[in-house]
Amino acid sequence: MPEQSVFYYADETDLSWQPTLQPMWTPIGQQIMIPTPGAPKKRYGIGAVNYHTGEVVALVQKRKRRSEVAELLERLLAKHPTETIYIAWDNASTHRDGQVDDLLRAAAGQLVLLYLPTYSPWLNPIEMLWRQLRREVTSCELFETIDGLVDACLRFFERLNERPGRALSIIGTDSTLSP
């Protein structure tokens, strides 16, 4: 049985090719035009943030299904082969099914899932990372292709992992509590 443990908050988010529109300052009498594509395309961010270190494990997928959720769990298991991994997330149906249960059984106690109450995103700090992703990457920005959006999102997570203290700041963790 693993001796050490890590704690993650995890969740999914929609990433639309449509720009995230936000209020912005403009000169009086001038309106900023934000181009939008005709047909909205989507990708899905599936990620987890380590509450103590700020490290982010994130995937951008075409779908938000059980197999993609299982892939995130497999990545966390590969990243922490000798530690117990606690994951707090919501009660989405993709978090509770046979594929996830099979993975839990195979992990033999190394993976512990903690379910947050339904309809309570304020209890999951990763929601603040998704909000920051929108501010920095998709706010009033139209990418030429959906692949451009995906690349920009993955670069955002790479930048966070280069300075994990920044992720801790975004999610509101006191870094002095880190082990």
What's the pLDDT tens digit per position in 64-82? 777 788 899 999 999 999 9
DSSP 102-134: HHHHHHTTSEEEEEPPTT-GGG-THHHHHHHHI
From the list 104, 113, 89, 83, the residue with the least C-alpha distance to 179 is: 83
Band (pLDDT 50/70/90 cuts) for residue 18 is: low
What's the pLDDT tens digit per position in 23-78? 667 788 887 766 666 666 778 889 999 999 999 999 988 877 777 888 999 999 99
- pLDDT of the residue at 94: 67
Which tokens go with 113?
Answer: 């899932």
Which tokens go with 175?
Answer: 């870094």
Of 13 and 33, the one with more pLDDT? 13
Spatial distance between the Cα atoms of 133 and 62, rounded to a whole number of angstroms: 18
**What domains are there in the chain, each with its CATH number?**
7-22+37-65+72-81+90-172 (3.30.420.10)
Q: Are 76 and 66 in contact (CB under 8 A)?
A: no
Burial class of residue 76, CB neighbours in 10 A (0-12, 13-18, 19+): buried
Which tokens go with 179?
Answer: 């082990």
Spatial distance between the Cα atoms of 60 and 12, rounded to a whole number of angstroms: 9
pTM of the model: 0.82
Angle of CA points 75, 81, 87, to nearest 5°: 55
Of 108 and 39, the one with more pLDDT? 108
Those residues with Cβ within 8 angstroms of residue 169's Cβ, 6 or more apart along the chain or in another chain = 175
